[in-house]
Amino acid sequence: MKTLLTALPLLATLGLPMAALAETDPADWDAVTSAAKGQTVYWYAWGGSTATNDFIAWVGDRVSEDYGVTLEHVKLTDTADAVTRVLTEKQAGQDDDSAVDMIWINGANFASMKEADLLFGPFAEDLPNWQYVDVDGKTVQTDFTVPVEGYESPWAMAQVVFMYDTADMDATLPTAEAMLEWAQANPGRFTYPQPPDFLGATFLKQVLIELTDDNDVLAKPVDEANFAAVTAPLWDYLDALTPVLWRQGQAYPATGPAQLQLMADNEIDLAISFSPGEASTAIANNQLPDTVRTFVLEAGTLGNASFVAVPYNSGSKEGAMVVANFLMSPEAQLRAQDPSILGYGTVLDMSKLSEDERTAFANLDLGIATLSPAELGTVQPEPHGSWMTRITQEWTERYGAGQ
């Protein structure tokens, strides 16, 4: 491990195996910050957004200033790539000094890493800034129905909204069925990112949740015995929608930012987002026209938290905990919620903050296109992570060939 190399000669003298190396206790914060100083943390995180990349760079500057930790952003297009790397290391017996020190993760990837014992922890609820987290009002202790149990740390809240251009659309759409009817009346003006892109898979889940007769079954792992019956309404819906999508469903934007560009270029009028503040941020950054607004479906939309997790074989666990803790700080949360920066929802409970911190959040202009918490309405829980994997596979077989 990077911070314990000086102990190796002594351990060799004592005949102790590498596995006997004790981790720094997450609850001993002074020891954590002491060990973290000088460490380099390789954070494997989605790199498809300039705004997100800039925010991560700012986090790196702050943890360097305050803790002497160097943060390197390893930009991903698919989180599964980082998971596969850690699994490959474990299979090769590389149980220390992983190439991966922290991952922006949730859903099926978290579930698979937890099940395979690929995660360090528990640590999250021992971090000093956990005291500010809203554990009652936000989904920060389960991840796609899987108990977190301290093996990942929350840093942002997300909820599905739909962006639409009021210059071209007269009204919002209350249901998935209304969205289909609108798309049929306005062919070529709607699309979604191509699964397995996370946002594209989220659209599939959103429609499935609205159309299925039994949402309870979605809280359980996929059962192939009833998969066809449960998902039949989704495929019927997509069979009707696909021909009237942008480019007749023969091509899809690869990512959320690519979808956003289509709206900026006036090729589409309707798009999905998993960030209630994304439209306001894009307007503030001159990426979208100021006529864009957002809406949610009347029965509610999917919501979840974004987390960071630390692989079991990271050599910079202390540095990773320092970064995770800073991400939960009021300073970082306020900056992330600013629509001119990111526009992400906060994981914090305002009642737990100081008066000055509460005032700073209250005075934050969330932006012209951002719905208030009341307007966001009901948050629909995520299905079990296996559903995203399975419906994405099925989508690819049905609609993805030749794309």
Superfamily of domain 159-303+377-400 in CATH is Periplasmic binding protein-like II (3.40.190.10)
- 195-204: average pLDDT: 94
Distance CA 285, CA 278 (A): 10
Q: Is the pLDDT of residue 114 over 60?
A: yes
pLDDT of residue 401: 55
Query: What pLDDT, on a 0 to 100 scale, did the predictor assign at position 1?
Result: 37
- The mean pLDDT of the chain is 91
| 28's tokens | 């001993």
Q: What is the per-residue pLDDT across 30-39, written as a single tens digit (0 to 9) for each?
A: 999 999 999 9
The average pLDDT across 164-179 equals 96
Q: Which two tokens stand for residue 243?
A: 């021909």
283 pLDDT band, cuts 50/70/90, is very high
CATH code reported for the domain at 18-156+304-366: 3.40.190.10
Instruction: For residue 202, give the nearest of 115, 267, 83, 106 by alpha carbon.
Output: 106
Determine the pLDDT at residue 339: 85
Residues 115, 255: Cα–Cα separation, whole Å: 28
Residue 253 clears pLDDT 50, i.e. is over it = yes
Q: Is residue 14 predicted with pLDDT exceeding 90?
A: no
Alpha-carbon torsion 211, 214, 216, 217, what sign? negative
For residues 25-63, one letter each, b for 16 or more C-beta atoms within 10 angstroms of the residue's C-beta and e for the rest, the string is ebeebeebbebbeebebbbbbbebbebbeebbeebbebb
Measured CA distances, 293 to 165, 237, 282 (Å): 6, 25, 11
Per-domain residue ranges for the chain? 18-156+304-366, 159-303+377-400
What's the gap between Cα 82 and its chain centre? 14
Helix orientation angle between 176-185 and 224-241, rounded to the nearest 10 degrees: 30
Identity of residue 218: L
pTM, 2 dp: 0.79
- Give the model's confidence band at 400: pLDDT under 50 very low, under 70 low, under 90 confident, else very high: confident
Q: DSSP assignment, residue 371?
A: P
What's the average model confidence in pLDDT over 192-216? 93
pLDDT over 70 at 300, yes or no:
yes
